[in-house]
Amino acid sequence: MSDPAAPAGGPGNGPGSGPGSGYRSVLRPGLFAGQVHWVTGGGSGIGRCVAHELASLGATVVISGRQAGKLERVAAEIAEDGGRCATLAFDIRDEEAVKAGVAKVVAEHGPVAGLVNNAGGQFPSPLSAIGKKGFDAVVANNLTGGFLMMREVYAQCMEAGGGAIVNMTADFRNGMPGMGHSGAARAGMSNLTMTAAYEWAHAGVRVNAVAPGWIASSGMDSYGPAMKPLIRKLAAAVPLKRMGLEAEVSGVICFLLSPAAAFVSGVTVQIDGAASLGNAVFPLAEATRSAPFDGFHRAVTPEALRP
């Protein structure tokens, strides 16, 4: 595990901290000071953004994933901004690795106050072309691995000390044509969130989920150039006539981890600009008043959306 020391001056909390203006969170400075928060899949995309926001709010952040190099780069960014971030490379689909990883984090940093179950992945394909191996791999990435992380963090620290968990799902409300394996797994995670919220409430553990729609994130570049023309058309199908930003997902996640959400548990929050609510029969009017919340000072436009 890597644990870059935080530079003098403490975590950045808005204008004047870190490079540029620093992370522009709407939450109060120091909100998570003295707490350990863990973001799986923290080496890129939404997970990277969440890690930055949590660190800017005072948390000691642990980021994990399968590629140590990606994690180290994000940890270096956070340290440069004045935050504190540790890294741990392992596969959440490996039960023994999850058990050992959680034990290591708790031993070195103390109890985990917040877990963001962000790690996952999928590939585009019609149902008829998905083999069992591919289906199982996507379910393991997006459901089984998240379950293992939830269970071990609960068993090894949250059962005794409480905490908050936010699981990552996706915009599966009307099915996920072209990604049926992911839709099935993400719907399963939403249901698992409800069960965990009910069973673990006695221990002071809240469990919620978020369901992002089309977010301008590095994940869009993982689908290859063949998907680029489709990706560039997505904004037109959103009532707000734009894609979401990573910071707009991170802000909801950080709220759900915060004390302000103390009576919120077992819900899945849609973050999709109302895209999942309509149908092809009802036409969309042009939208002119949707101003994005561009809070992430290190955000990078995905290659798929560049001119």
Q: What is the pLDDT of residues 31-50, one digit of tens each?
A: 999 999 999 999 999 999 99
* Residue 12 included in any domain: no
Tally of domains within the chain: 1
* Residue 294 included in any domain: no
* Residue 127 included in any domain: yes
Enclosing domain of residue 54 = 36-217+245-270
* Residue 135 included in any domain: yes
Average pLDDT for the chain: 89
* Residue 94 included in any domain: yes
* Predicted TM-score (pTM) of this structure: 0.86
- Whether the per-residue pLDDT at 14 is higher than 70: the answer is no
- The CATH number of whichever domain residue 167 belongs to comes to 3.40.50.720
* Residue 266 included in any domain: yes
Q: Three-state SS string across the chain, please?
A: CECCCCCCCCCCCCCCCCCCCCCCCCCCCCCCCCCEEEEECCCCHHHHHHHHHHHHCCCEEEEEECCHHHHHHHHHHHHHCCCEEEEEECCCCCHHHHHHHHHHHHHHHCCEEEEEECCCCCCCECHHHCCHHHHHHHHHHHHHHHHHHHHHHHHHHHHHHCEEEEEECCCCECECCCEHHHHHHHHHHHHHHHHHHHHHHHHCEEEEEEEECCEECHHHHHHCHHHHHHHCCHHHHCCCCCCEEHHHHHHHHHHHHCHHHCCCCCCEEEECCCCCCCCCCCCCCCCCCCCCCCCCCCCCCCHHHCC
- Per-residue pLDDT, averaged over 167-183, amounts to 88
In percent, how much of the chain has pLDDT > 90? 68
* Residue 226 included in any domain: no
pLDDT tens per residue across span 253-306 = 999 999 999 999 999 999 999 988 877 667 677 877 788 888 889 888 877 777
- Whether the per-residue pLDDT at 3 is higher than 80: the answer is no
Are the beta carbons of 18 and 62 closer than 8 angstroms? no
More confident residue, 115 or 299: 115
Provide the pLDDT for residue 281: 65
Strand order in 84-89's β-sheet?
A: 84-89, 60-65, 36-40, 112-117, 163-168, 205-212, 268-271
d(CA 232, CA 305): 6
- Per-residue pLDDT, averaged over 94-117, amounts to 98
* Residue 258 included in any domain: yes
